[in-house]
Structure 1
Amino acid sequence: MSSSSLPSLRWGLVGTGQISSWFVADLALVRPNAKAKHIIAAIGSSSKEKGEAFVKRWIPQLSPGPKVYAGYDAVYHASDVDIVYIGTPHGFHKQHCLYAIEAGKHVLCEKAFALNAREAKEVFAAAQKKGVFVMEAMWTRFFPLVHQLHRVVHEEKAIGDVHRVFADLSLDQNIASLDADSRLKNPALGAGTLLDICIYSITWGLLMLDADIATEAERPDIKAVQTLSGPIDVASTVLLFYPSTGRHAICTSTAMCKHSGEIDVFARIEGTLGYITVEGVSASCPTAFTVYDKAGGSARRFTVPKPGFGLYWEADAVAQDIAAGRMESAVMPRVETVRVLEMLDEARRQGGAQFPIDD
């Protein structure tokens, strides 16, 4: 496909934190197999100086560069922006989505999409009324390696019937040393490991136990415990149990330690005929998986080249959906975002972590 025939999307970014920096760098990456053309039109930051520094560091090669605004309102209303990428802390997601939707913009909003399922439903209702595309930016689900693993598990049945999944994401974030207004410590911003990183572990459990989410998938029973520091969790363990089959996934997170080494096995999928290990720098960014037979006598390793960070795959998918006139993604549909948030709501209810909006 020639570059002139690719769908084109003009992006405005809201927020200039770490995930936004990775996203904008990936949008600007030159890729021979790109499925869309991405134009970075606008950057909204807490100050113009911070926004200009962000552009200089992450996309200095762009000429002309994006317009930089102090604040976010100008991004929502910019005539040269088709879609707003929201990379602000969780606690701002609902309102920033609603501002963008009201301005008639499509939206790609970082995970966790909202603080709870109720907020997500409010955003999706507004998007439905306005007729715009909205998707949660769960980038991991768009990796070609993940799609390949899903086929190996659910179509090829390489390890037979899956009966158990382990998945973990661990970071050493030293929460106690952070300022009270840090997004990792302030409960009003959705702080804690559950929404920030355990959502990835839960995603792996769902991907490996659900063959299809095109229609509403089975809702597993939730059992959860959390280690708390004040109102937020610094470690969570969430068990997903499927009553219809007895399958379960043990999904964990912690902010108190980091596995050693640059590449770790972060997930294990067990089946009747063997097992699979998945590895990468974290559960959010897989780089390879290996299929083992039950006796351990043979192994097949799979990997897919990944230039940059790997956020362009979701951006390409969004551009293709919008060009086709679709209002949501088949890979990350709205019903799946709500289903996951309802699990997170229940995990917090059982584990004890609290946000001010719970009152």
Structure 2
Amino acid sequence: MADPSAALRKQVERLRDALTKDGEEKQAASLTGILKAAERLKEITPSRIERSRAYLSGETLGRNTPVPVDRETAAPLAEIIFPGEIDGTAPLFNATVSQAIGTIVDEWTNFEALATVDILPAKTCLIYGQPGTGKTRLAFWIARKLDLPVILVKLDGLVSSFLGTTARNIGNLFTFVNRYRCILLLDEFDAIAKVRDDPQEVGEIKRVVNALLQNLDVRQNIGFTIGITNHPKLLDPAVWRRFEIQLEIPTPDFEVRKAIAAHFMPPVKAPDSHLRMIAWFTEGSTGAEIESLVRTYKKATTVREEDRPGLLDTLRQFATLNAARIQSERRALLFGEPVHLFRAMRDDPIQGFSMADIGDIAGKDKSTVSRWLGRQANAADDKEVTHG
């Protein structure tokens, strides 16, 4: 019990409760004492995260700490989110991306070991990719793992119509964040960090980019900074050089799409064939789009049994209302002759659905599906013989 896991602690608690039920009050009291002693030991033993945080300079943010505001509009320049307010569920990515993300957290949790060889964890990270791929959620999850509050900045909110005010806002913001132990999260980073040579931009924007670069240089040795952008091509090359980590979040592959669908499905229990179909149908989609499709699926399962649409009807409904979010090839198969869709599913080189899977998805028995595909194959053979 010097360093108990959650499972071990649970078993000891069950044993204590069983002893109490059997009237063994003395032994139960002994176990209660052991549990309390272990809890006190845990409270006074600094974790690796706590030791790592000691290396970050600055004060501790409080819930009443005032954030800087724009002088002209009095609008706040940032929002503070504390670790306890952040969802602790790890975002879903492929194994390569997840492993890379793990190294970021590992560096901070092994701060002391790195310090012995005169190495510091990476303090700047740029996360980029398509909208809806989980970039902002990832940044918050990192903050949760490091037990640090987030100062969330919407950079487009820093931009003022008053000449010189934007650069001043940036300066005030960095003065504030450099005072506290925190993660600075620059969302929609491309709003300001644009290419300075863009002929469409006026000199004011160029001065703003210079101010941002200068403040990032100062910030680099003080705290952890994360930038997020959906448009990496808009970033000034000098901005890229300020970030030690440049992490691209790709659209999810099949297994990740299936995992995302399964994650958002409860409390509805969907068969595995339906989860696979959703993952197959959403090829090229983002996690946010898959979540939206799952919501449509869950709504369909709540209607009366006699009115309940099948999976294919649900997918057609979603594709109609979200045409731009679904690959044109998948949409064409979905709205065409069912046999073409079934053949594509059966012949998919990676996921090849079985006749039973297709039958479950189509609401037909597998023998019916087999006959459909057989008739289609015979028709194709007859056509080839005729042309021959």
- TM-score, normalisation: structure 2: 0.25
Q: Greater helix share, 1 or 2?
A: 2
Look at both structures and tell me which one has the larger radius of gyration over its CA atoms: 2
Q: Greater strand share, 1 or 2?
A: 1
